[in-house]
Amino acid sequence: MDEPLDVWFALEILAHEEALDRYLRRNWRSRDDVHDLRQETYIRVYEAASKSRPTAPKSFLFTTARNLMVDHYRRERVVSIELRGELESLNVLVDEVSPEQQASAHEDLRRLAQAFDQLPPKCREVVWMRRVEDLSQKQVADRLGISEKTVEKHVAKGVRLLANCLFGGREGEGREEGRKESANELGHGKQQAD
């Protein structure tokens, strides 16, 4: 018989409160928000556990906290509706995006996603944290338990592989040849242990 949700929550989640606090303080820029982030993390975990209990509660807790921070960061980068209305009232001309430009952008994004998925796992994780989550080199190193120099090497390798895959790697070669070489390099990188 499963233990009641409140008992499970106290034993499996609240037991990690100090570690969660340290994690949030280390990864969020404003210490004033840590309490609210912790409480919102608890709410998300509790609601999810009421539907189905996670098999790895501690990992689920920290993954939920990380996702919450990413959500908050994304929301901060969104321009408010009021500000957008003020910008529109400035009567600044904006070029319309043609269907061709939109299709081209979607194709570029699809190619980037495919190339990104082919990066070696550790390299992909480091590039994502540095370039998408916008974490510092030190934060990535601390989070993954590796040196800052290793983070730097993974980012350089990832950017090089992505650039080779998307744009071809060498002058004088056709784009298609550069893509084939990059695909081979990405496949080779995937086979190597990281």
Distance of CA 49 to the CA centre of its chain: 24
Instruction: Let me know if residue 131 belongs to a domain.
Output: yes
Instruction: Let me know if residue 45 belongs to a domain.
Output: yes
Domain match, 55 and 109 both: no
Domain match, 109 and 72 both: no
Domain match, 104 and 173 both: yes
Listed in sequence order, the residues at least 6 apart from 34 whose beta carbon sits closer than 8 Å to its beta carbon are 21, 24, 25, 28
Tens digit of each residue's pLDDT (9 = 90 or more) over 50-71: 999 999 999 999 999 999 988 8
Instruction: Let me know if residue 60 belongs to a domain.
Output: yes
105 token code pair = 């952008």
Domain match, 143 and 72 both: no
Count: domains in the chain: 2
> What are the angstrom distances between the C-alpha of 185 and each of 121, 132, 138, 182, 190?
14, 23, 28, 5, 9
Compute the distance between CA of residue 114 and CA of residue 182 in angstroms, rounded to an integer. Answer: 12
Compute the distance between CA of residue 123 and CA of residue 150 in angstroms, rounded to an integer. Answer: 10
Instruction: Let me know if residue 86 belongs to a domain.
Output: no
Domain match, 108 and 160 both: yes
Q: Does the structure show a pLDDT above 80 at 40?
A: yes
Domain match, 113 and 162 both: yes
Domain match, 31 and 109 both: no
Of 142, 111, 182, 135, the residue nearest 22 (C-alpha): 142
112 token code pair = 């980037």
Round the average pLDDT of the chain to a whole number and report it: 78
Tens digit of each residue's pLDDT (9 = 90 or more) over 114-140: 888 889 999 999 988 888 888 888 999
What is the mean pLDDT of the segment spanning 142-170?
A: 86
Instruction: Let me know if residue 53 belongs to a domain.
Output: yes
Domain match, 60 and 115 both: no
Domain match, 129 and 48 both: no
The domain of 48 spans 5-77
Angle at 163 between CA 162 and CA 166, to 5 degrees: 85
Contact 65, 23 (CB under 8 A): yes
Instruction: Let me know if residue 56 belongs to a domain.
Output: yes
Report the pLDDT value the prediction gives residue 186, as an integer from 0 to 100.
52
Domain match, 160 and 107 both: yes
Compute the distance between CA of residue 184 and CA of residue 20 in angstroms, rounded to an integer. Answer: 41
Domain match, 114 and 154 both: yes
pLDDT range class, residue 47, cuts 50, 70, 90: very high
Domain match, 103 and 184 both: yes
Instruction: Let me know if residue 91 belongs to a domain.
Output: no
Of 47, 71, 57, the residue nearest 14 (C-alpha): 57
181 compared with 40, residue with greater pLDDT: 40
What CATH code is carried by the domain that includes residue 9?
A: 1.10.1740
pLDDT range class, residue 178, cuts 50, 70, 90: very low
Contact 154, 192 (CB under 8 A): no
Instruction: Let me know if residue 50 belongs to a domain.
Output: yes
